[in-house]
Structure 1
Amino acid sequence: MKDLIKNLKGDKVIWSFVALLALFSFMPVFSASSNLAYLGHGTGNTLGYLLKHLAHICIGFLIIYLVHRVPYHYFRAISKIGLPVVWVLLAYTLIKGTVIAGANASRWIQIPFVGITFQTSTLASLMLFIYVARYLSKTREEPVDFKESLKELWAPVFMTLILILPANFSTTALIFAMVIMLVFIGKYPVKYIGVIIGTGVVALTFFVLIGKAFPDSRFFSRVGTWSSRIENYTTDKPDEDDYQIEKAKIAIASGKLYGLGPGKSVQKNFLPQSSSDFIFAIIVEEYGLVGGFLVLGLYLLLLFRFVIAAHKATTLFGKLLVVGLGFPMIFQAMINMAVAVELLPVTGQTLPLISSGGSSIWMTCFALGIIISVTKKEDEIIQEQQDAAKREEALQKIIDRELAGEKAENSEDDYSIEEKNENPMKAVFGK
């Protein structure tokens, strides 16, 4: 264990907060999965869901460990290559329209042969934020040409958003808001940002109007859901989302200050998404306002640590990476908690590192691995370079030794042939 901790580079405080959130997640997930267990096999045994969550968390930490060993500047090229690949995946996801538990889930694809579902928008947002950070760090020293930036920056951004929007409005809105924040921090001209925001609003309005005109079209099928959620949020009209919010509010009210106790939640049996979208309500019901504020505090401390990491980063690309990958994680957590207390309409955003799920946990961990890579100290980087040089030197010695051995064998064989040619009797009788 000591050797493993020694191999953990980068900001140890970020490592600690991430570990605390992951460890805390086990009890709420174990408790909140009971309704899924009853629906799935009727026994209510949530041990299988706990083990599944454990596997997801373990794979997630392995991803953090592997990614944080990679120098973060490598992701410049990866984002440029990865973005077109992501577009293909998003288009495939949109066309495929995976059905999960009888419901349309066109934001997911199923990986063949392993039976794992994957939300491609999480990978797309990650690649897009890295790409935007790359562009801003590249053009910082030069005056921004708006026409050029339309082609190099905004065309890829809107291409990604267009492919996510039909299936997932909340994720599209979050990504767009985070990109705007990132370009603002990257000192992209404010007057151009205003033009882009206006263009985005007009494009969204146009998309919604088309969706209203063709409600039966599969491409615009989610427009009705968005409208009903907003209408339900602003009026008292009963709806399925209203049912979820009511149960979430009952759970929060039942928790009071100290909660009902671990595993004693009642509303987990009625909330359809109790282990994912509404897990914060279950946390407050079981651990009270104390537990709720503890979770909120951990996210805020993690945000504060991201700010410090961005400030300490030695390159502009590193600073923008921390902001572009870290801040959306915290905003997503805030949105999830705001939905649970009805400050926002139902969005379907999970609570990072706590909600059950595979791809959402893994992509969060991928982002954390890059952030931690940025936070490596100079001495850690030098040590890694020295270790790599030592490995390369050792490998070269092995190669040289092998080549020397082959050369010696060839020389010996040549000598034997010459000796046998000079003494034919020795070649026949061996003496």
Structure 2
Amino acid sequence: MKELINSLKGDKVIWSFVALLALFSFMPVFSASSNLAYLNHGTGNTLSYLLKHLAHIFIGFIIIYWVHKVPFHYYRGISIIALPIVWILLAYTLVKGTVIAGANASRWIQLPFIGISFQTSTLATLVLLVFVARYLSKKREEEVTFQTSLVELWMPVFITLGFVLPANFSTAALMFSMVLMLTFVGRYPLKYIGIIVGTGFAALALFVLLSKAFPDSHLFSRVDTWESRIENFRTNKPGEDDYQIEKAKIAIASGGIYGLGPGKSVQKHFLPQSSSDFIYAIIVEEWGLIGGLGVLFMYLLLFFRFVIAAHKANSLFGKLLVVGLGFPLIFQAMINMAVAVELLPVTGQTLPLISSGGSSIWMTCIALGIIINVTKKEEEIAQEMSDKAKREAALQRLIDKQLEEDIEEEEGATIEENYSIEEKVGNPMKAVLNK
């Protein structure tokens, strides 16, 4: 075990926070999966869901370990190759995607032979942000023109968002926001960012208008859901998501300061997405305000560590990778918690590393592995500089010692030379005394 820990490179604090969040996730997932265990005449035994979550987390940490061994500059080329593959997967998801837990959206594809559902938008987010970081770091020393960036940067961005938007507005909005944040950090001209923001809103408005013109099209089936969620949130009218929000608020109110205790949640039996989208409400119900704030504090500490890692990175690509892959994880967590306390409309965003799920956990682990790889590279550079300083100090000590020995030899030779001259010439004082 000690050898395994010593083999982990990179920022040890990030490793620790990720491990703590993953370990904590077993308790709320085990408790909140009870409603799933009773579906389809189930026995209510949540052990199988706990083992499934354990397998997902275990595979996730294998992914982190493997990814953090690969030099992060390799992902420049990988993002270019992976982006067209992602477009194909997203297009296939729109046409042949599956629906999970009754959601009115085709967001998953069934992986052949292994029977695992995979949410393609999570992979698309990861690949797109790496692609944008690659472009910004490549063009840093060149003068960026809007015409060239429109083709090289924004066309791939809008193609990706166009495939994600029809089935998952919240993910598309989060992706677009993170791309804008990344371009701002990468010092892309602000006037161009303003044009892109205006173009994005115009494209969204056009998409909504097309949904009104073709209401029976499968492509626009989610627009009514978006509108109803925003309207219900704005006016507090009852809607399809009102049941979940009410149960989440009851769970949070029942938790109080100290909570009902681990596994003693009542609302987990009524919340349809208690182990994923609304798991934060179950955490507060069982662990109270202290537990809820503790989870929030852990994400804020992880965010602070990402800021430090980005600041320490020597290359621009490394800085942009940490910002582009690390910050969305924290923002996603904040959105999930804000939805649970009704600060935002229902979005369907999970709580990273805590909510149950397969592909979402694995994509989060890939992002964390790349971030740790960036910190590992800086750690290696610092270690090399330290080793170089030690070698220089050792060499200087050898030189000083050699100089001392040379001086001593010269002084000894001078004394012996004077003594031999004295013997040959003689000592006048001795001659006088002898007389």
TM-score (norm 1): 0.87
Please tell me whether the aligned partners of residues 105 and 222 of structure 2 are also in contact (alpha carbons under 8 angstroms): no
Which residue does the alignment assign to 1:289? Answer: 289
Which residue does the alignment assign to 1:318? Answer: 318
Which residue does the alignment assign to 2:255? Answer: 255
Which residue does the alignment assign to 1:65? Answer: 65
1:125-159 alpha-carbon deviations (Å, 9 max, x no partner): 10000000000000011111110000000000000
Q: Which structure's CA Rg is the greater one?
A: 2
Say whether residues 1:77 and 2:88 are aligned partners.
no
Runs of 4+ in 1 over 2 A off after TM superposition: 99-105, 377-384
Please tell me whether the aligned partners of residues 97 and 104 of structure 1 are also in contact (alpha carbons under 8 angstroms): no
Which residue does the alignment assign to 1:20? Answer: 20
CA drift at 1:114: 1.0
1:137-191 alpha-carbon deviations (Å, 9 max, x no partner): 0001111111000000000000000000000000000000000000000000000
What amino acid is the match of 2:109?
I
Which residue does the alignment assign to 1:222? Answer: 222
Which residue does the alignment assign to 2:100? Answer: 100
Say whether residues 1:52 and 2:52 are aligned partners.
yes
1:38-61 alpha-carbon deviations (Å, 9 max, x no partner): 014421100000000000000000
Which residue does the alignment assign to 1:399? Answer: none
Q: 1:252 to 1:101 in 2, by over 3 A?
A: closer
Q: Counterparts of 2:379 and 2:181 in 1: how far apart (Å)?
A: 32
Residue pairs, 1:34-49, within 5 angstroms: 34-49=34-49
Q: Counterparts of 1:55 and 1:225 in 2: how far apart (Å)?
A: 34
Please tell me whether the aligned partners of residues 137 and 316 of structure 2 are also in contact (alpha carbons under 8 angstroms): yes
Which residue does the alignment assign to 2:163? Answer: 163
Gaps of 5+ in 2: 385-435
CA drift at 1:380: 3.4
Please tell me whether the aligned partners of residues 280 and 292 of structure 2 are also in contact (alpha carbons under 8 angstroms): yes
1:346-398 alpha-carbon deviations (Å, 9 max, x no partner): 000000000000000000000000000000155636999xxxxxxxxxxxxxx
Gaps of 5+ in 1: 385-431
Q: 1:382 to 1:235 in 2, by over 3 A?
A: closer
Say which SS state the counterpart of residue 117 (structure 2) adopts.
Answer: strand
How many equivalent residue pairs? 384
Deviates more, 1:359-368 or 1:237-246: 237-246
Q: 1:220 to 1:48 in 2, by over 3 A?
A: same
Please tell me whether the aligned partners of residues 251 and 266 of structure 1 are also in contact (alpha carbons under 8 angstroms): yes
Q: Counterparts of 2:169 and 2:210 in 1: how far apart (Å)?
A: 15
Say which SS state the counterpart of residue 53 (structure 1) adopts.
Answer: helix
Q: 1:69 to 1:245 in 2, by over 3 A?
A: same
TM-score (norm 2): 0.87
Say whether residues 1:111 and 2:77 are aligned partners.
no
Which residue does the alignment assign to 1:176? Answer: 176
What amino acid is the match of 2:76?
R
Which residue does the alignment assign to 1:332? Answer: 332
Q: 1:102 to 1:256 in 2, by over 3 A?
A: closer
CA drift at 1:236: 2.9
Please tell me whether the aligned partners of residues 215 and 224 of structure 1 are also in contact (alpha carbons under 8 angstroms): no
What amino acid is the match of 1:247?
K
Which residue does the alignment assign to 1:406? Answer: none
Please tell me whether the aligned partners of residues 22 and 354 of structure 1 are also in contact (alpha carbons under 8 angstroms): yes
Please tell me whether the aligned partners of residues 212 and 224 of structure 1 are also in contact (alpha carbons under 8 angstroms): no
Please tell me whether the aligned partners of residues 257 and 290 of structure 1 are also in contact (alpha carbons under 8 angstroms): yes
